[in-house]
Structure 1
Amino acid sequence: MLNRVSTMWSWWWDASNDKGGHSRATLAALVSIFALFWFLWAAKKSRKVIPPLPPGPRGLPIIGYLPFLGTELHRKFEELAGVYGPIYKVWLGQKLCVVVNSPSLVKEVVRDQDTIFCNRDPPIAALAATFGGADIAFSSYGPDWRKLRKIFVREMLSNANLKSSYTLLREEVKNSIRNVYDKIGTPIDFGELAFVTVINAMSNMLWGGTLQGEEGAKFKKLIAEQMVLFGKPNVSDLFPVLARFDLQGIERQSKKIFQWSENILDSAIEKRMNSNEGKEDGTGKFEQKKDFLQFLLELREKNDAATSISMTQVKALLWGTELELSDKFGIVAKKLKPTVAIPAPKLSKFELYTT
C-alpha cells in the first residue's frame, strides 16, 4: 500500500510539471489521500478484536432454528443447554437470541451488569398496546424510564400509599371469599378466582372503582387476549422486513384491544378531573381519597421536570400496572391444567370467615 501511495505521488509530481497536467495531478492527489485514509482505517480495524458469539444450533437458512423449537420452550432450552452449555445463541428468523441458563450468569446479567443488558426489544403487540413502549415494562433504559420507575416504585408503591389501599384490598378479598361461599359444592377455577381478585383490587387502587357486569367481564377477557398476543410468535417480530404487512393480524388485534382499554382509562380520568373541580381544601390539595390516579394527576400539574409527567405517561402507568399483574394469562409458562377444586364449608356462617 505504501508503494502504491509513493508511485501515485511521483506520478502527480511528474504530471504537474507537464503542460496541461494540472487536472490529472489534482485527481492523483485526491486518490492518494483516499488511499492513505483507507490504509489507516484498515490497520485500525485489523487491531480491533471482535469477541466471538457463543455456540448454538445451526438451524436453517433464513428461518433459523424456528422449525425445531416446539411448543415447550423451557424444555427445549434446557435440552440445548445440555449440549451447548450455560450460554448459547439461537437464530429465530432474523433475530439473534442469546439464552442464559445458569444462576451465576443470570446474576451477572440482571444485577451486576444490568445497565448493559437492560434495554428492551419489545414485540410489536406490546408496542401497539403501551403507547409505543411508553410504560416501565417495555421502555428502554434512560431518563424517561428512570423517572417512571421513581414515580412507580418510590411514590405509587410507597408504604404510605400501600397502607391507604389496604382497606380496598381487604374488601376485594372479602368479595372473593363470598364468591367461594356462594358456590359451595360446585367446581371453582382458583386461577380464575385469583385473577379476578387481583384485577378488581388493582382497579380499586388505581382509579377508585371496579368494572362491574358485562363491562367488567369484557375487560378481563380483553386483558387475557392481550397477554396471549404479547407471547404469541409473530412473523413481524422475527422478520422485521415483513412487519408492514402484519400477516397474522397481531398488531391489528392488539390495537383494537388497546383502543377499548384506553377508552376506559379516558373515562376514569375525565370523571376524576371533573370531580376535582372546586374541591380543593385551600392548600392546593384535593379532599377526596388518594388513589394512584389522583397521585398521578397531581404529579402532572407540577412544574418539576424530575417528576412531572404527560397524560400519555399517566395512562401508560395505569394500563401497564393492570397488565403486569395478569399472572394467569402472562407471557410466562403457565399450568397445562387449571387448579379446580370444590369448596366445602367448615363454619356455619359466611360472616365467620371475614372477621
Structure 2
Amino acid sequence: MPTTGLPVVAVLAEREPPVVERLAGAARVLRVGERDLAGALAEADVLLVWDFLTSALPEAWPERGGPRWVHTASAGVDRLLFSPLRESDTLVTNSRGVFERPIAEYVAGLVLAMAKDLPGTLERQRSREWRHRVTESVAGTRAVVVGGGPVGRAVARLLGALGLRADLVSRTARDGDPEFGRVHGFGDLAGLLPAADWVVCAAPLTEQTADMFDAAAFARMKRGARFVNVGRGPLVVEDDLLDALRTGTLGGAALDVFRQEPLPADSPLWDAPGLLVSPHMSGDTRSWLDDLADVFLGNFERWVAGRPLLNIVDKELGYVPVAGRPGAAPRTEEGTP
C-alpha cells in the first residue's frame, strides 16, 4: 500500500475512461498504456483492464506478486487466463450485467433482418429497383442458442418473445430450469442442429468450445439455416463457414466477432454470400462506457470495504459460475462480448 493509505489502481487504457475521474479521492490511479503496463503492475493493488482487447498482459505480468484483483471491462475473460494469472491467488472479475440485453436485442435484429431480407431491400433501394418479394415469418421456427450463461439466456428469452422455439445449450445438461425446462449439454448439440432454423453462438471461449463450429457442425445443420456468432471468433472455423455459405449449405450468417480483429480489409469474409459483418459491437450501446464504470466502481466499493466481490471468474472453467436462486439451475455459464 502507498503511504497515503489509498489503494493503487492501474487502469489499462490508451485514452482516459470515465472511471478514472470517478475514482478521485478513493484511489491513487495509474492510467497506463501497454508500454507502461509492466511498471504499473509492480505497484498496483488492482488492475482494471479497460482496453479489454489487449494482448499485452501476459508479457507484462510480474514474475512475483502482482495485483490482488484484476477486473476486465468485458464479459469474456479468455485473454486474461494465461498461466501465471490463472495459477496465482489474484481474483479475476468481469462485467457481467452490462451486455446481456443489448446483445439479445442485436441478435433479434439480425434474425429479423435475415428473415425479412432487409439487406436485399437496401441493395434494391440503392439501385432504385422496385421489386416486390415475399419474406419469412420467424414465429414457429426453431433456434438453438449455444451458451447457457446470462447472454445466451437473454438471447433465448427474447427470441422466444418473437415466437421462436428456443433450445438452450450449456456446458452440462440439466432439467427443471425455471425458464427453459430442459437445458441441453454440449454433447446434445449435434442432435439439435438438423432441426434448427437458426443457430446462435453465445458461448465463452474455452478449450472445450474452441472451433466447435466447423465443417462437421455446418454439415449437420438444415440446408438453408442461418448462423449467428456473438461469442468469440475462435469458436468458428471461418474457412468452413465460408465453404458452407458458398455451397448454399447455410442460407446466411452474421458474425460480430472474428479470429482476427479488426477484420483485415483483404479477408474473404467481407464478400461472402449472405454474410452480415459487424465490428464486435453487439453489446455496445450509447451508455455502455458509463455502465462498465458503474460495474467496476460498485465492486471497488465492496473490495475497499472487505466485502465479497461480484462476478468472480472461475479461472479453471473460464467464466463466472452463478449460484442459482431457489428453484433455478445451480450454475450457468457467462457469455462473452
Structures share fold, TM-score greater than 0.5: no
Specify which structure has the higher proportion of helix: 1
Specify which structure has the higher proportion of strand: 2
Report which of the two structures shows the higher radius of gyration computed on alpha carbons.
1
Q: TM-score range by the shorter chain?
A: under 0.3
Q: TM-score, normalised by structure 2?
A: 0.22
